[in-house]
Amino acid sequence: LYVEHPLGAGQSVPLTRDQAHYLFAVMRLGQGDKVALFNGADGEWLAEVAQAGKRAGVLDLIRQSAAQGTPPDLWLCFAPIKKARTDFIVEKAAELGAARILPVQTDFTNSERIRQDRLQAHAVEAAEQCGGTYVPPVDDLQKLGRLLDGWPEERQLMFCDEGLAGPATVLAEATPGPWAILIGPEGGFSEAERKRLTELPFAHRVSLGPRILRADTAAVAAITLWQQALGD
């Protein structure tokens, strides 16, 4: 269970109404039952239900059961698409171990707004589902151009370009370090964006194979391709 509370020896964690409902009504836990907790910073902790109510409860921490994990330094930058598909991208990126998720507005992006809080909640759920201790932060929507203006030069960029025909690029010679993946929207990248992206010294233009993938499929394929070459 994810909690927004520091986790340490001797601590007690008060539950929110939703958490109490989930643990005691949905999972049917009661006093004395054990729960694994994480907050994205202090590792995983084994806790015991000390108080169980309908709308509230308290968990007492017993001991740390896993150290805090840190994923490889990989950002996923993607242009938001339809709501359900954007949710999917965030969920899968969190499952696959992206360190940070950055929604970007490109020339052909249709959405001008995202629900950052909803997307962050999806990242939390994904981390809970796969027993992770890390939750990637989801940024608010920002313009691709502005992101590139302030780009940290040491971070290499895997620019996934559907215009690059041919088999999936092999990243075998890519060097480790901070990386980011960029996935475009349904309409792909504009010519101006493609020109700028291909000229950036830190960008690698990459094919994900001869077929044009939907953006949500492309995000999963790109993270997997990167993980295979450079992840852990």
Which residues are at the interface with ligand SAM (CB under 6 A)? 160-162, 183-184, 186-189, 207-209, 211-215, 218
Evaluated on CA atoms 43, 128, 13, 51, the torsion sign reads: negative
Instruction: Give the Å distances, CA to CA, from 96 to 34, 71, 126, 182.
Output: 27, 9, 9, 16
Evaluate whether 71 touches 134 at the Cβ level (below 8 Å).
Answer: yes
Evaluate whether 90 touches 122 at the Cβ level (below 8 Å).
Answer: yes
Which is nearer to ligand SAM, 20 or 160 (by Cβ)?
160
CB of 190 to ligand SAM, least distance (A): 10
Which is nearer to ligand SAM, 71 or 188 (by Cβ)?
188
CB of 141 to ligand SAM, least distance (A): 17
Instruction: Tally the residues of the chain.
Output: 232
CB of 145 to ligand SAM, least distance (A): 16
Evaluate whether 107 touches 189 at the Cβ level (below 8 Å).
Answer: yes
Instruction: Give the Å distances, CA to CA, from 129 to 40, 123, 134.
Output: 14, 10, 12
Which is nearer to ligand SAM, 7 or 76 (by Cβ)?
76
Which is nearer to ligand SAM, 145 or 209 (by Cβ)?
209
Which is nearer to ligand SAM, 39 or 169 (by Cβ)?
169
Residue with the CB atom nearest ligand SAM in the bound state: 184
